[in-house]
Amino acid sequence: MSSPLGHNFIGGQRSALGAIQLHSLDATTGEALPHAFFQATEAEVDSAAKAAAAAYPLYRNLSAERRAEFLDAIADELDALGDDFVALVCRETALPSGRIQGERGRTSGQMRLFAKVLRRGDFYGARIDRALPERVPLPRPDLRQYRIGVGPVAVFGASNFPLAFSTAGGDTASALAGGCPVIVKAHSSHMATAERVAEAVIRAAERTGMPQGVFSMVFGNGVGEWLVKHPLIQAVGFTGSLRGGNALSKMAAERPQPIPVFAEMSSINPVFVLPDALRSRGERIAAELSGSVTLGCGQFCTNPGLVIGLRSAEFSLFVEQLSAQMNDQHPQTMLNSGALVSYGKGLEHLHGHAGVRHLAGQPQQGKQAQPQLFKADISLLLNGDELLQEEVFGPTTIVIEAEDETQLRAALGGLRGQLTATVIGEADELTAHGWLLDALQEKVGRVLLNGYPTGVEVCDAMVHGGPYPATSDSRGTSVGTLAIDRFLRPVCLQNYADALLPPALQNANPLGIRRLVDGELTDRAI
Amino acid sequence: MSSPLGHNFIGGQRSALGAIQLHSLDATTGEALPHAFFQATEAEVDSAAKAAAAAYPLYRNLSAERRAEFLDAIADELDALGDDFVALVCRETALPSGRIQGERGRTSGQMRLFAKVLRRGDFYGARIDRALPERVPLPRPDLRQYRIGVGPVAVFGASNFPLAFSTAGGDTASALAGGCPVIVKAHSSHMATAERVAEAVIRAAERTGMPQGVFSMVFGNGVGEWLVKHPLIQAVGFTGSLRGGNALSKMAAERPQPIPVFAEMSSINPVFVLPDALRSRGERIAAELSGSVTLGCGQFCTNPGLVIGLRSAEFSLFVEQLSAQMNDQHPQTMLNSGALVSYGKGLEHLHGHAGVRHLAGQPQQGKQAQPQLFKADISLLLNGDELLQEEVFGPTTIVIEAEDETQLRAALGGLRGQLTATVIGEADELTAHGWLLDALQEKVGRVLLNGYPTGVEVCDAMVHGGPYPATSDSRGTSVGTLAIDRFLRPVCLQNYADALLPPALQNANPLGIRRLVDGELTDRAI
């Protein structure tokens, strides 16, 4: 493996104009890694934005097939990143190599899935209303609609998925698929990883003849603000903290030209355990749930942070079993020292609250995160206590006991927007709790039955989104193919001669895509 | 016709708890109409929001067919509003009766079109990825996605379309279609009209057994803020000024839970006239264009406010012809005195700018708006002069002459986001100006060839939207069936037994809708 160069990626060139040098850390030892990364200057960010804006008309007008070839080439380049790359990612993130190998496959698979979306063509949203020249009192002109990319997109990756939610992650894949050039703000906790991935994207861009400026990446801590405020940037994708997402949303809303921000932020992912299920398989649920809470050191957006049950002998037994399971879990190294500090503070707040009791877990100390279990009084939920609603990022969860279903219903009202909600129950009791399933739909992006929220499949039907504060825009998802919709906008073309129309809207339907023609979905030519 | 009651519509009841009484004005005479309207109190707004929130789970879970019946019933009730109603609207708006009759049909037709969308079922966006239990290393769970209404929506109607963009206009129709209860802030310039329309909606709701609270309407000037800031309101639809839309967007972004605002605001709708077209039919274009500029007293969102051509003998002649046409246009009464004051101020700003020359039109005075034609130096566009970019709401337009195509290209860069752009050209020159058509797609919601932007067809393919400042969110449209998308969000259901799924996602496909099943669009059962 060659040493990192540490230069920014600006419109197809490497650039290091700045004086500030940054170092990535070994996530396990906390020691600085040897190679320096050059923080981008405002002029470099400006150059990247201008290169993206120059690339935009060229790139958005490439055929979907050409963009699909680009995404496939990125996927191939990612798959070709070898064992030395995996070792590097592990060093920067303290994640195990098996996880990184899996995540590499997830990230390349995501690129290939968006290539498939491009070839399928439904992303165009093609709609045709043909002219009605004889209509009275007024004729109807020929009207045709399709969707185009919104323009250059800024992407802020997450620390917890250094591949799948970062440089070439879901936001980048969906924006590139939509015809939008991308500028990534490299995550400061895995800059060497980001550089290797950006090199892979650039190789793919060169190999498939993409316009320069289709992909740029900048290093540095203060540089994100320049990016979001840059007049040529037209949308933002972000995965991270509520504070960070809110700050970017505010910046974007206060621009002379406000732009949309798709921020995936904070979720406590409540799990509801129903009595019959506890009676028939409580011990297994306790084991599975503790596994989900501590998976990846609890560093998942969909980590179950709240477990809610109904007062009963079964639930009391279940809480005992869950306590025992959580006491058996080992400490793990977190992604970076900042995450460990935040985790420690989150636990302190829980320990310090009169309505919260500690049930299991070793005292938090040292360089690793200790799994913890707490129990909170339901009044915290009923009264909308902030503490309970804030994600504690790490291997911890909080149990809550409702007196009865009436109290459970009331407590639901206090729950803020979430990425997921899970209900564990037997078939009959799920049927009897239709009201609960309905109410959860109105609060979250994904409702799971008899599963655990920590697995997030990349597919057409996935929603990794949900009402605020889970995200800044509940109409989007940051995982799955629907993510492309965030970066597309409709355009109507009126009274165009056939030859002037884009292929997606031409009479002959040369792309063979499904279109809404005069109110009927069809893939026929017209 | 019975006298207006003037009470607010709160969750199915009439309510007049406030002390402030408002009067609508006769738009032609400026005199106050006799009947009083009671400004809503904060408690009444709160009651309306609570009624909407209570109705939401019931209403969103009604079948699409039931909601379609409601929309059809509203359409029937609107159609049944007779001549006395038309006379009332004309009195409040100074619009001619033929226009109001047409707009009534447009408004009821819009309701029926959304009923058709509901029955077609593509609005569900149904996607199914079936379980892959044998997949290695990890099985895939069954994942199904559909879209649900976001929750209660606040609608702010426009003055210029007292029916089609107001109480039961496109925002209301699309939100109701999406399963969202609606609270309308009645436009203060046509409160009696609003009351008659709201009564029609309520009659339809009662006749079709809709939950109380599905529709409310409040009167008053300061009440919109209470509505937008109310925690139970989940989205806002607005048609009006840039200042008004920006104010609502800011309010919505600063809420503890930010919500989306779909504001259709300001557009100058540039028209590009190419040389060959002017050579072959310049005089006709001048006549048609002046007709479009002065149609409805220029009070259309899509009024052509800028006419851009290339320096040439043909263009000079065309400007002369257009001047003559504009001098021939008659003054007209505007929607209200506020609109006339704004129009006068807009003209003053144009008269006062050194780079702008007056070409045609009588001096603005009296109670009617005088059509006007100006010519601005292209430097105003090149330098992004604010004056040129601001919509002057009324029967006026500004001509701009570009030296050559290079300067035209540069001037395009200075153009802000627009609802529409129009290009008038012969077939060959349109082909030669592919770069212009492409560039305009990136600036606007609708590109028209050889037409005029003032007609906005209500259909599947229409986009009445566009980049800021035309709207606050370029991914939406406020006219046409795609408008429903603004008020829907995706939800994923994981590992659900078939009987627990909504019909749109059940294996048997009982609704017979088109779904994306394992990556393939199909209407088959699975």
Strand order in the sheet with B306-310: A520-522, A515-517, A127-129, A143-149, A488-494, B444-449, B418-424, B270-273, B306-310, B396-402, B372-376, B356-360
User: Does B427 contact A at CB distance below 8 Å?
Assistant: yes
Q: Are residues B492 and A140, on separate chains, in Cβ contact within 8 Å? A: no
Q: Which residues of A458-470 are buried (b: 16+ CB within 10 A; e: fewer)?
A: bbbbbbbbbbbbb
Q: Which two tokens stand for residue B60?
A: 């969103």
Which residue of chain B has the CA closest to A418? B491
pLDDT at B34: 87
What is the Cα–Cα distance from B41 to B55, expressed in whole angstroms? 21
What is the Cα–Cα distance from B334 to B315, expressed in whole angstroms? 31
Q: Pick the range with the lowest mean pLDDT from A380-389, B247-256, B323-332, B418-427.
A: A380-389
What is the Cα–Cα distance from B443 to B413, expressed in whole angstroms? 9
User: Does A200 contact B at CB distance below 8 Å?
Assistant: no
Q: Are residues A438 and B61, on separate chains, in Cβ contact within 8 Å? A: yes
pLDDT at A359: 97
Q: Distance of alpha carbon B506 from its chain centroid, rounded?
A: 35
pLDDT at A282: 97
- Other C-beta atoms closer than 10 Å to the C-beta of A405 total 13
Q: Nearest by CB to A495, from B138, B449, B468: name it.
A: B449
Residues of chain A in contact with residue B145, where contact means CB-CB under 8 angstroms, are: 460-463, 482
What is the Cα–Cα distance from A293 to A311, expressed in whole angstroms? 22
Residues of chain B in contact with residue A386, where contact means CB-CB under 8 angstroms, are: none
Q: Are residues A482 and B431, on separate chains, in Cβ contact within 8 Å? A: no
Residues of chain A in contact with residue B467, where contact means CB-CB under 8 angstroms, are: 257, 489
In tens, the pLDDT along B53-87 reads: 999 999 999 999 999 999 999 999 999 999 999 99
pLDDT-flagged residues of chain A (< 70): 1-2
Q: Which two tokens stand for residue B173?
A: 């129709």
Q: Which of these, B114, B103, B265, lies nearest to B176 by C-alpha position?
A: B114
Residues of chain A in contact with residue B253, where contact means CB-CB under 8 angstroms, are: 249-250, 253
In tens, the pLDDT along B265-307 reads: 989 999 999 999 999 999 999 999 999 999 999 999 999 999 9
Burial of B281 (0-12, 13-18, 19+ CB in 10 A): middle
| B positions 364-423 inside 8 Å of A (CB) | 416-417
B430 close to A500: Cβ distance less than 8 angstroms: yes
Q: Nearest by CB to B116, from A127, A137, A519: name it.
A: A519
**CA distance, residue B116 to nearest chain A CA (Å):** 9
Q: Is the pLDDT of residue B197 over 60?
A: yes
Q: What sections of B328-397 are H helices per DSSP?
A: 337-351, 379-382, 386-389
Which listed residue (B69, B92, B264, B314) is catalytic?
A: B264
Residues of chain B in contact with residue A129, where contact means CB-CB under 8 angstroms, are: 457, 459-462
Q: Are residues A489 and B257, on separate chains, in Cβ contact within 8 Å? A: no
Mean residue pLDDT across chain B = 96
What's the predicted TM-score (pTM) here? 0.97
Active site residue A264: yes
Q: Which of these, B467, B504, B501, B499, lies nearest to B488 by C-alpha position?
A: B504
pLDDT at B391: 85
Regarding beta strands B8-10 and B13-15, do their DSSP bridges make them parallel or antiparallel, or are they unpaired?
Answer: antiparallel
> Which DSSP string corresponds to A5-63?
---EEETTEEE---S-EEEEE-TTT-PEEEEEEEPPPHHHHHHHHHHHHHHHHHHHTS-
Which listed residue (B44, B301, B314, B391) is catalytic?
A: B301
Residues of chain A in contact with residue B439, where contact means CB-CB under 8 angstroms, are: 57
Q: What share of chain A is helix, strand, coil (3-state, %, to 5)?
A: 40, 20, 40
What is the Cα–Cα distance from B129 to B141, expressed in whole angstroms? 8
Q: Is the pLDDT of residue B2 over 90?
A: no
In tens, the pLDDT along B90-140 reads: 999 999 999 999 999 999 999 999 999 999 999 999 999 999 999 988 999
Q: Nearest by CB to A461, from B137, B144, B500: name it.
A: B144
Active site residue A206: no
Which listed residue (A44, A264, A314, A401) is catalytic?
A: A264
CB pairs under 8 A between A and B: 218
pLDDT at B358: 98
B310 close to B402: Cβ distance less than 8 angstroms: yes
Q: Distance of alpha carbon A120 from its chain centroid, rounded?
A: 23
Q: Is the pLDDT of residue B1 over 70?
A: no
Q: What percent of chain A has pLDDT over 70?
A: 100
Strands (E), B127-260: 127-129, 143-149, 153-156, 182-185, 215-218, 235-239
Mean residue pLDDT across chain A = 96
| A positions 253-272 inside 8 Å of B (CB) | 253, 257-260
Q: Is the pLDDT of residue B40 over 90?
A: yes
User: Does B80 contact A at CB distance below 8 Å?
Assistant: no
Q: Are residues A143 and B461, on separate chains, in Cβ contact within 8 Å? A: yes
In tens, the pLDDT along B420-433 reads: 999 999 999 999 99
Which residue of chain A has the CA closest to B61? A438
pLDDT class of B222 with cuts at 50, 70, 90: confident
Which listed residue (A301, A314, A391, A401) is catalytic?
A: A301
Residues of chain A in contact with residue B495, where contact means CB-CB under 8 angstroms, are: 448-451
